[in-house]
Amino acid sequence: MAELDLTNAFNDCVDHLAQGQSLDDCLRRYPQYASSLRPMLEAGLLVQRMHIQPSEVLIAQTRVRRRFEDALRAPPPKRTRAPRRFYLRHSRYINNRIYFCSESVDRVTR
């Protein structure tokens, strides 16, 4: 429940910041969450102040789109499975151990 309250406080502060209210004013509304809200809201404000050139965005989008399309065209990775001989050998070993252990117990109890 506290997490939901923090989320609601964060969303409310984001809305108030978008309307021009100051960070400190937002934090005063939620003193119980101020220590958690401050770094999140400051990070959001820093990102908002960054001026990313549209050409950089286009280059990044093109690169991601190309990688995504390449991944779609690539054959799915083959699943590797251990050879059946491996399982058979180990199951025989375990069966033999159980058999010989039970034989040993039978000899001791006689």
pLDDT at residue 109 greater than cutoff 70: no
Residue 88 domain-assigned (yes or no): no
Residue 85 domain-assigned (yes or no): no
Residue 28 domain-assigned (yes or no): yes
Q: Mean pLDDT across the stretch 73-97? A: 71
Q: Mean pLDDT across the stretch 33-51? A: 90
pLDDT of residue 8: 93
Residue 110 domain-assigned (yes or no): no
Instruction: Give one DSSP letter per residue of 19-72, joined into a string.
Output: TT--HHHHHHH-GGGHHHHHHHHHHHHHHHH----HHHHHHHHHHHHHHHHHHH
Q: Which domain holds residue 15?
A: 2-73
Residue 17 domain-assigned (yes or no): yes
- pTM for the structure as a whole: 0.47
pLDDT of residue 76: 82
Residue 78 domain-assigned (yes or no): no
Query: How many structural domains comprise the chain?
Result: 1
pLDDT at residue 56 greater than cutoff 80: yes
pLDDT of residue 47: 82
